[in-house]
Amino acid sequence: MARIPITVFSVLFVTQAELQYGRIAIGGTATLLYAAGATVNGVASGWLLQRLGDRVVATCSSAAVITVLLVSALPGERSPAHFVALAGLIGLCYPPLHISSRARYPRLVRDPFLLKVYSWDVSLIQLSWLVAPVLVVLLAGSVGITAVYLTLAAQTAVGAAWYLLTLARLPARDPVPQPLVATARGRGLLRSPDLHVYLISAAAMMLVSGMVMPVIVEMSGSSMQESGAILVWSAGSAVGSLLVNRGAVRRRRLVAGVAVAIVAGGLVAAAPSLMGLVPALLLLGFATSPVTGAMFYFVSLRYEHRSQAYVFGMITSAQLVAQGVGSSLSGRLLDRGADVWVTVIVLGSLGVLLALLALNIRGTFGPRRTSQVAPLANAPCASVVKDASV
């Protein structure tokens, strides 16, 4: 519940700027500052969660962002600079419950259900992208922008309180199994090749997402067609994350899905049409969202619990930066009539993702090719000699 508002701010800022200032560009600037603040938030939250714990970070950040949302809801004229600054503060202060919850899943469930939980996580985010923006537009038009901010503040408060109350009921030291393989710790994480693979994979997927959004706007003749295209894309993502990784990660399925998405994208580029774009978006969502779920799952297996929040924070920041860069770059290229370069970048990013999945470098999306296991120095001995004569 507390994570759903994350999906509405980009729509809210553009809508508010158009209604109050008559300039969509101000909403674009506000969205850019919000993304910049959220990027810093992702990196800093992982570091803070390691040192201060879930309760302190969730409580302080929730109180801060609720305060900013209530200030944004105050009636009266507000300068564009004030509006843009508040948008940046929202991104900077928003509670990182998506990071802390993903790092906590391994403490709550074990295989074979852990993969399903990460798949559900990705699906729920995709479903929120279906419902939340539409609700924002309806509320803004019927009851006003102030009511939207009050609703988001209340929703954040309820979600954060729910999370904290649930967290307080969990055991203080829930035993967590050691990672499947020995991994780097502390500052060594930044030099870990595994983390680099995950960051590149996440950035490639979100770069494609950012590049595609302006294409949808350009090829859609109306807001209804635009909403329908996004609906199909998100529906494909939600269904794909639930169906592809059932029971276990099937890397061949992931590779095949991305390959099919590349072919579909190439066909749309060869003969551009909205009728061809819609099924291509369905395949794109169906192919990429299972990769995200698998990536979260292997992060939970590969890194010790104390490092997971930091890794998930880094991945979140990489996603935000890549999506922002993709949207900005795609918009500029389309304005200049360089549609072919949008196609090249989209297909190239999907090609990078396909190569990482197929090569499976260091076993980041499956078992390692070399037998590296965690040290057993502290493992208790469970074997007993039953017959000394043997």
* DSSP-assigned states of every residue in 236-248: HHHHHHHHTTSSS
CA 298-299-300 angle, to 5 degrees, is: 90
Length of the chain: 390
How many beta carbons lie within 10 A of that of residue 36, not counting itself? 17
Measured between alpha carbons, how far is 16 from 136 in angstroms, rounded to an integer? 10
Tokens of residue 70, six digits: 């209530």
pLDDT for the residue numbered 170: 65
First and final CA of the chain: distance in angstroms?
Answer: 61
With CA atoms as reference, report the closest residue to 291 among 179, 193, 183, 198: 198
Considering only CA atoms, which of 205, 208, 229, 232 is closest in space to residue 219?
229
Cα 368 to Cα 183: distance, rounded to the nearest angstrom: 13
C-alpha Rg value of the chain to the nearest Å: 22
pLDDT at position 188 is 64
- pLDDT on residue 390: 34
- Position 37, amino acid: G
Low-confidence ranges of the chain (pLDDT < 70): 24, 129-131, 133-134, 137, 168-188, 223, 367-390
Query: How many other C-beta atoms are found inside a 10 Å radius of the C-beta of residue 75?
Result: 8
Q: Answer yes or no: are the C-beta atoms of 133 and 82 closer than 8 Å.
A: no
Q: For residue 281, how far is the Cα from the chain centroid?
A: 18
The pLDDT value given to residue 202: 92
By C-alpha distance, which of 253, 367, 316, 322 is closest to 122? 316
- Cα angle vertex 272, ends 268, 278, to 5°? 60
Residue 35: CB partners within 8 Å, gap ≥ 6?
A: 91, 320, 321, 323, 324
Q: Which tokens hold the place of 107?
A: 């403490």
Tally: H helices and E strands in the chain: 13, 0
Cα–Cα distance measured from residue 257 to residue 341, given in angstroms and rounded to the nearest whole number:
23
pLDDT at residue 69, rounded to an integer: 92
| Residue with the two structure tokens 């944004």 | 72
Amino acid at 352: V
Candidates 136, 44, 152, 29; CA nearest to 88 is 29
User: Which one, of 20, 266, 7, lies nearest residue 140 by Cα?
Assistant: 20
Q: What is the pLDDT of residue 376?
A: 36
Task: Return the DSSP state at 179.
Answer: P
Q: What angle do CA 298, 303, 304 make, to 5 degrees?
A: 135
Structure tokens at 109: 């469930």
